[in-house]
Amino acid sequence: MHPNFVLLYVDSPAASAAFYGDLLGHEPIEASPTFALFALPNGLMLGLWSRHTVEPKAAAAGGGCELGFPVESREAVDSLHRAWREKGLKILQQPCGMDFGHTFVALDPDGHRLRVFSPAEANAE
């Protein structure tokens, strides 16, 4: 098995599709009032499903998981942090070093965590 499909439950699929379209630089391949779907170049499918219509009903809201965005360097982490902050994304964790590498965490409009990181090996001198 090779999981490649992530579904996020969102308040407004249209608003979330606009957010992720801007963030990812891609348009959804499917969009309706209750669902939007992105097909990303790396093969990942990102679905945005209305939390009001998902069956069976979901108990949890955003924040129960993270979408990871690996980048090539510490500088790339810091650059994305500046760019996302300028776009108005809420920053939950400022850039910092952790065991796995240099990282920061932002939130999407529904509170889903977006972790940008550069693996520790890429930051070694």
* CA distance linking residue 40 with residue 60, whole number of Å: 25
Q: Does pLDDT of 62 surpass 80? A: no
Which pLDDT belongs to residue 123? 65
| Residue 82 covered by a domain | yes
pLDDT tier for residue 64 given thresholds of 50, 70 and 90: confident
pLDDT tier for residue 1 given thresholds of 50, 70 and 90: confident
* CA distance linking residue 72 with residue 122, whole number of Å: 7
Domain range for 16: 5-50
Q: Using alpha carbons, list the distances in angstroms from residue 33 to 10, 24, 36.
A: 11, 20, 8
Are 16 and 45 within one domain? yes
| Residue 33 covered by a domain | yes
Are 17 and 42 within one domain? yes
> What predicted TM-score, i.e. pTM, was given to this entire model?
0.88
Burial of 60 (0-12, 13-18, 19+ CB in 10 A): exposed
CATH of the domain at 85: 3.10.180.10
Q: Using alpha carbons, list the distances in angstroms from residue 21 to 15, 46, 93.
A: 10, 11, 23
Q: How far apart are the first and last CA of the chain?
A: 37
Are 43 and 72 within one domain? no
Q: What is the mean pLDDT of residues 18-25?
A: 97
Which pLDDT belongs to residue 2? 81
| Residue 30 covered by a domain | yes
| Residue 40 covered by a domain | yes
| Residue 86 covered by a domain | yes
Q: Does pLDDT of 30 surpass 60? A: yes
Are 46 and 77 within one domain? no
Are 87 and 113 within one domain? yes
Task: Name the residue among 44, 13, 42 with its Cα closest to residue 30.
Answer: 13
Q: What's the number of domains the chain is made of?
A: 2
Q: What is the mean pLDDT of residues 31-42?
A: 97
Contacts of 51 (CB under 8 A, 6+ apart): 9, 10, 11, 58, 61, 110
Which pLDDT belongs to residue 26? 96
pLDDT tier for residue 20 given thresholds of 50, 70 and 90: very high
| Residue 61 covered by a domain | no
Task: Name the residue among 48, 52, 8 with its Cα closest to residue 30.
Answer: 48
